[in-house]
Amino acid sequence: MKVHILTIGDEILIGQIIDTNSAWMGQQLNLQGAEVIEITTLSDTRESILEGFKKAEKNADVILITGGLGPTKDDITKKVMAEHFGAGMVFHDETWERIARMFEKWGRSTTEAHKNQCFMPQNAEILLNKMGTAPGMWFQENGKVYVSMPGVPYEMKYLMEHEVLPRLKESFPAEPISHRTILTIGEGESRIASRIEKFEESLPENIKLAFLPGMGAVRLRLTGRGGNAADLETVLDAKKAELETLIPELIFGHGTETLEERIGVLLKERSLTFATAESCTGGHIAHKLTTVPGSSAYFLGGIVSYSNEMKMRQLGVQASTLEANGAVSEPVVQEMAKGVIANIGADISLSISGIMGPGGGSEEKPVGTVWMAVADKDRVVTEKLTIGKNRITNIQYASVKALDLVRRFLLKHV
Amino acid sequence: MKVHILTIGDEILIGQIIDTNSAWMGQQLNLQGAEVIEITTLSDTRESILEGFKKAEKNADVILITGGLGPTKDDITKKVMAEHFGAGMVFHDETWERIARMFEKWGRSTTEAHKNQCFMPQNAEILLNKMGTAPGMWFQENGKVYVSMPGVPYEMKYLMEHEVLPRLKESFPAEPISHRTILTIGEGESRIASRIEKFEESLPENIKLAFLPGMGAVRLRLTGRGGNAADLETVLDAKKAELETLIPELIFGHGTETLEERIGVLLKERSLTFATAESCTGGHIAHKLTTVPGSSAYFLGGIVSYSNEMKMRQLGVQASTLEANGAVSEPVVQEMAKGVIANIGADISLSISGIMGPGGGSEEKPVGTVWMAVADKDRVVTEKLTIGKNRITNIQYASVKALDLVRRFLLKHV
């Protein structure tokens, strides 16, 4: 199955938005064994969209289109698709009823633009979009599949996962393909590569290893293709087990698991509660933990002590400790972590304090200096990080490293 | 000047890398008045690159190519370009001397691959890349300009800024172009569209309006082109002012400003401090506020009171209030907001409590029910949201709506 991804929207061409949709779609399609042969971003004019369709259908079996489905005048994808197929537009009652119901529930009134959104090319099969007002559309013409989806990422993702990917799998049965993903943290890509070099060389022709570096973590993905499906699973399981023995201490999970989900599992297994005291990460760690459904079972909450006053008042950090060591120091994160246990009553706590930049650095403590601590009622362990100069990246990276410290604490001490 | 951006590399097609280069290039070109007519990502095979060139040169004056210049086997851009132009390859001594010098300085030896990197199509003008080993290449053929650059972002940016953009400006003196971006919050795209329909219709031919919806916010961008540059600015200013009178209460900022930056400005103007009490957003609001450099000047911190215990202990919410109304209720967010003022000593506080899903909903309080409050020492205002079913989206959306409540409170009451 050869796929051409078409993204429609001037906002991408002028760089106001970075196209993250195509990368996500590329990943999902790749996992299903489909080949993305081209990604094209087009201007939202009739001419460029029509020409884009013509170019795309030359080489692709499937053309996935995002964007240009909104209710405003510059959203013309639907009309141009109808023109391309020589199809008329028909009013889709179900979509209109859905929109009307949604707005009624929200206590708001619909506009003419919403009604216009319900006219669809008559050859379109309508794909229910539970995340927004514009539905997806599925076309089969001249032996090709065309799918149109909204450009809003979570709407596109919903449609891909619930409608498009399952239908494509049915329409284009592929040779067996299977994956094993091992999630690691603690070493960079090149150090892992040198540790598992011989393993990589020993892999059979039909199994490939990919390094997928992310923020502070590296995913290792084994992909097997072809042959008998059951045999493929057996070989992949064996290779995965072999790989795990080579870097056991780096592995925190598998598949699409996240570090914050893993910590939730570890805490629940141990029937422990958890709370945080964040200075430099400003709530990002609590945010990550609470993206996990059901996290209220173990996460009691946190203090974002962005000021020294709050470190003292809410966490019981001593003024003398702050004066003697500064807010970014080992003694302060130790007191913060202990303060969380004492004041919030959690079994395990995490604290973090650092200088994220761009300002606030000094000769002695440059931007990127971070102290973190994890405590239970008996002990506190600390770790220092020296990271980069970019504020946002620093916040994200420090959050991951802090969560990993919690993970290692739970495995080692509890 | 019509520009087609070509990105070469399988790692983008399979979603291993998000193409951020093209967006950056689009921004820079747009600021110079160039029109990016298409962005295409191609596989690194001879056939797809040759076909990509043919398609691109049909409509574009300038073709900017990134990627495929490295020393490894799959980096074939250069060879395919030579083939496309029917040009031979010549060894470029200067480049070789540069590479040899660099490696000598690093105390490392060069390999055969580095020598191969110095063969260039004979019709290429070589662009010095001070950031890496692979130089850029400038071609002029059949009245078109082709530029090849490395895909490494900082190398591409160096070449664009120092070589490509200045040369393009000289080769294609452009008509003036200018933008005005108005940031709105509080209404969806279609409602805004219907409120400003007449304005949109009244726009002269050379001024276009784009709706750029994001999470809970909509950006409105006016783009003017052509004519006299000073006149264009005057007309754009007038049209921007006219647009602002139509939806004054929705506008929170301009250009690339964020809502959290705007709140920072409003607080600093008023010399006020701010703190948060978050339940359902789990620290996301504090995180957003602290992504702003210098936010410690007004943001004291926050309590992530994910448990009822913390709502009582850290914020002074009464057990009886929780019992009588439940944690997601107007009285509870009122007490939380007041508790922040009393316990943290901030001038202004924000509180939020809701059900983000997927679990935790009931008939009376379904998933998506959110209460929020903003307080100062004299008053508390509250607002209820009824949002969606997706946990992550709910957290993000509620955070934006809560920050907007703070913005409106500051404008109205302080």
pLDDT tens digits, one per residue of A197-228: 999 999 999 999 988 878 888 999 999 999 99
Q: What is the pLDDT of residue B72?
A: 64
Q: CA-to-CA distance for A374 and A414, rounded, in angstroms?
A: 12
pLDDT tens digits, one per residue of A140-157: 998 999 999 999 898 999
Residues ≥6 apart with Cβ < 8 Å to B376: B341, B347, B348, B349, B409, B413, B414
Q: What is the pLDDT of residue B74?
A: 62
The length of chain A is 414
Q: What is the pLDDT of residue B401?
A: 97
Q: Which residue of A has its CA nearest to B200?
A: A73
pLDDT tens digits, one per residue of A99-141: 999 889 888 888 888 888 899 999 999 999 988 888 999 999 9
Alpha-carbon distances, residue B390 vs A131, B371, B387, B405 (angstroms): 8, 17, 9, 22
Which of A16, A282, A344 is nearest residue B212 as measured by Cβ atoms? A16
* DSSP code at position B294: T
Q: Does residue B353 contact residue B365 with C-beta atoms inside 8 Å?
A: no
Count other Cβ atoms within 10 Å, centred on residue A205: 7
Q: CA-to-CA distance for A215 and A163, rounded, in angstroms?
A: 30
User: What value of ipTM does the predicted structure carry?
Assistant: 0.81
Classify A98 as helix, strand or coil.
helix
Q: What is the pLDDT of residue A268?
A: 98
Count other Cβ atoms within 10 Å, centred on residue A107: 7
Q: What percent of chain A has pLDDT over 70?
A: 99
Which has the higher per-residue pLDDT, A407 or A74?
Answer: A407
Q: What is the pLDDT of residue B239?
A: 98
Between the two ends of chain A, the Cα-to-Cα distance in Å is 49
* Interchain proximity A13–B37, CB inside 8 Å: yes
Instruction: Name all domains of chain A by residue range, CATH numbers in brackets.
Output: 2-171 (3.40.980.10), 177-254 (3.30.70.2860), 259-413 (3.90.950.20)
Between the two ends of chain B, the Cα-to-Cα distance in Å is 50
Q: What is the pLDDT of residue A108?
A: 85
Q: What is the pLDDT of residue B302?
A: 98
Among A344, A321, A346, A74, which Cα is nearest to B193's?
Answer: A74
Q: Does residue B111 contact residue B97 with C-beta atoms inside 8 Å?
A: no
**How sure is the predictor about A24, in pLDDT bands with cuts at 50, 70 and 90?**
very high
**DSSP letter for each residue of B371-411:** EEEEE-SS-EEEEEEE--S-HHHHHHHHHHHHHHHHHHHHH
**Six-digit token string for A64:** 């996935």
- The residue ranges of chain B whose pLDDT is under 50 are none
Count other Cβ atoms within 10 Å, centred on residue A320: 9
Q: What is the pLDDT of residue A213?
A: 78
Q: CA-to-CA distance for B36 and B25, rounded, in angstroms?
A: 9
The verdict on B324 touching A (C-beta cutoff 8 Å) is no
Q: Identify any residues that bridge with A304 across adjacent strands, giving them in sequence order.
A: A278, B302
Q: CA-to-CA distance for A72 and B165, rounded, in angstroms?
A: 34
Q: What is the mean pLDDT of chain A?
A: 93
Whether residue A173 has a cis bond before it, omega within 30° of 0: no
Q: Does residue B64 contact residue B30 with C-beta atoms inside 8 Å?
A: no
State the nearest Cα–Cα gap between B301 and chain A, in angstroms. Answer: 5
Question: Which residues in chain B are closer than 8 Å to A343, comparing Cβ atoms?
Answer: 313-314
Q: Which residue of B has its CA nearest to A279?
A: B301
Phi, psi of A326 (to 5 degrees): 85, 160
Q: What is the pLDDT of residue B211?
A: 86
Which has the higher per-residue pLDDT, A272 or A229?
Answer: A272
Q: Does residue B212 contact residue B268 with C-beta atoms inside 8 Å?
A: no
Whether residue A358 has a cis bond before it, omega within 30° of 0: yes
Q: Does residue B206 contact residue B226 with C-beta atoms inside 8 Å?
A: yes
Phi, psi of A215 (to 5 degrees): -65, 100
Classify B281 as helix, strand or coil.
coil
State the nearest Cα–Cα gap between A253 and chain B, in angstroms. Answer: 19
Beta strands in A297-409 (DSSP E): 299-305, 348-354, 369-375, 380-386
Give pTM, 2 decimals.
Answer: 0.82
Residue A281 scores a pLDDT above 70? yes
Q: Which residue of B has its CA nearest to A315?
A: B314
Q: CA-to-CA distance for B49 and B6, rounded, in angstroms?
A: 9
Q: What is the pLDDT of residue A73?
A: 66
Beta strands in B226-284 (DSSP E): 251-254, 274-278
Element (H, E) at A342: helix A330-344
Q: Does residue B220 contact residue B405 with C-beta atoms inside 8 Å?
A: no
**Six-digit token string for B300:** 């004291």
Phi, psi of A374 (to 5 degrees): -125, 135
Give the best residue of B7, B43, B209, B306 to mutate against chain A (max A CB count within 10 A).
B306
Q: CA-to-CA distance for B107 and A28, rounded, in angstroms?
A: 43
Q: What is the pLDDT of residue A47?
A: 94
Q: Does residue B30 contact residue B20 with C-beta atoms inside 8 Å?
A: no
The verdict on B369 touching A (C-beta cutoff 8 Å) is no
Classify A326 as helix, strand or coil.
coil
Helices (H), B45-138: 46-59, 77-85, 93-106, 112-116
* Interchain proximity B302–A306, CB inside 8 Å: yes
Chain A stretch 272-301, residues whose beta carbon is closer than 8 A to a beta carbon of chain B: 276, 278, 281-287, 289-291, 293-296, 299-301
Q: What is the pLDDT of residue B232?
A: 95
State the nearest Cα–Cα gap between A340 and chain B, in angstroms. Answer: 11
Which of A286, A314, A395 is nearest residue B314 as measured by Cβ atoms? A314
Dihedral sign (CA B254, B256, B260, B266): negative
State the nearest Cα–Cα gap between A80 and chain B, in angstroms. Answer: 17
